[in-house]
Amino acid sequence: MSGPIICVDTSEILEGKLGAIRNAIADMVSFVEANETDVIAYDVFIDDAHTLMTVVQIHPDTASMVFHMEAARPVFAPFQGLIRLATIDIYGEPSDDLRELLRRKASMLGDAIIREHELAGGVSRFAD
């Protein structure tokens, strides 16, 4: 079983779409809170200039993130036409299934660059 997976993605907010983005974010966060009990963190940030959106997710393992990617797919759809997904950074050991789901998301929302980061050392206290 894999260890924790951290995903950080950054998107450009398209001009004039901030209000719609805020609504889509609220819907996504509500969905995650109601349907994904394994998620350790799911946080969305908007920069001071209101031009960038960053999503930070922490999952206990790759299976949790695969579940998120599959279950939340319908909630991703409203983001089309509102953002251009620029980067997806994955920290940990993603499964091949997760890699494929990330490629699909990157293609759907802007053909983002996907970067994987291998754990070189550290301390994590995600235990129950």
Domains delineated in the chain: 5-117 (3.30.70.100)
Give the DSSP letter string of 3-57. --EEEEEEEEEPTT-HHHHHHHHHHHHHHHHHH-TT-SEEEEEE-TTS-EEEEEE
Q: Going residue by residue through the chain, which has 128 residues, state the pLDDT in tens, using 9 for 90 and above.
A: 468 999 999 999 999 999 999 999 999 999 999 999 999 999 999 999 999 999 999 999 999 999 999 999 888 889 999 999 999 999 999 999 999 999 999 998 988 999 999 999 988 776 55
**Hey, which residues does 83 pair with through a beta bridge?**
13, 80
Whether the Cβ atoms of residue 83 and residue 14 lie closer than 8 Å to each other:
yes
